[in-house]
Amino acid sequence: MNKLHPEDLYSLENYARLRPEFRAQVLAHKTHRKLAIGDHVTLLFEDRLTMQYQIQEMLRVERIFEPEEIAAELEAYNPLIPDGRNWKATMLIEYPDPEERHQALARLRGIEDQVWVRVEACDPVMGIADEDLDRSNDEKTSAVHFLRFELTNGMIAALRDGASLTAGCGHEAYTGTARVSEAGRESLIADLD
């Protein structure tokens, strides 16, 4: 996938004008790229459009317009765009109650290394977690992780031939499996070369 460059971004003034329409487009796009695994883990599969939105929002909120600062945002978010052979996902661990969340994050240490995707009739692909920095320690895991799923040529061919796609988690304290919808599967296939 093509990485984002400064010329791909809207100026703050243009973004202010275009934001409602662009935001609606991205939110509609994200509905097919969001997958709940049980009640408390959600995978948000990222792509160029979702990262452009994230960067635009950061520039807007932080009032960033200097070229060096824009370049820093691009450097931070471009690694989350799939490269044509993989998927990249933000994993959210969600517990609304702060005390329950605190206890769950302690119980779920290492969960980020137990998340997988599986193309029908293929072996599961374990996510490679948090390549930028560790988000877990001896006491707890983070509520947000970034995962990369590397696919083989055979898996990509099987998906294009109609194979189903599932994802799941096999942590000792949290297990679950979810099937990716047809619209989600098609959206994820578009990320592949």
Q: State the residue range of the domain holding 13.
A: 1-31+48-80
pLDDT exceeds 90 at position 132: no
Tens-place pLDDT, residues 66-80: 999 999 999 999 999
Query: Is the dihedral angle over the CA atoms 137, 143, 152, 164 positive or is it negative?
Result: positive
Do the beta carbons of residue 81 and residue 191 sit within 8 Å? no
CATH number (domain holding residue 188): 2.60.40
pLDDT in tens, 165-175: 999 999 999 99
> Domains in the chain: how many in total?
2
The two structure tokens encoding residue 163: 């194979």
Same domain, 1 and 43: no
Distance CA 179, CA 181 (A): 6
Residue 77's φ and ψ, nearest 5 degrees, are -100, -25
pLDDT of residue 135: 79
DSSP symbol at 122: S
pLDDT at site 27? 97
Task: Give me the pLDDT at residue 1, please.
Answer: 53
Other Cβ atoms within 10 Å of 103 Cβ, number: 13
| pTM of this structure | 0.93
The whole-number average pLDDT for the span 2-18 is 96
Residues 42 and 52 in one domain: no
**pLDDT tens figures, 94-128:** 999 999 999 999 999 999 999 999 999 999 999 99
Q: Do 118 and 151 lie in a common domain?
A: yes
**pLDDT greater than 60 at residue 45:** yes
19-39 exposure pattern, b = at least 16 Cβ within 10 A, e = fewer: eeebeeebeeebebbebebee
What is the CB-side half-sphere exposure of residue 171 using CA atoms within 13 A? Answer: 22
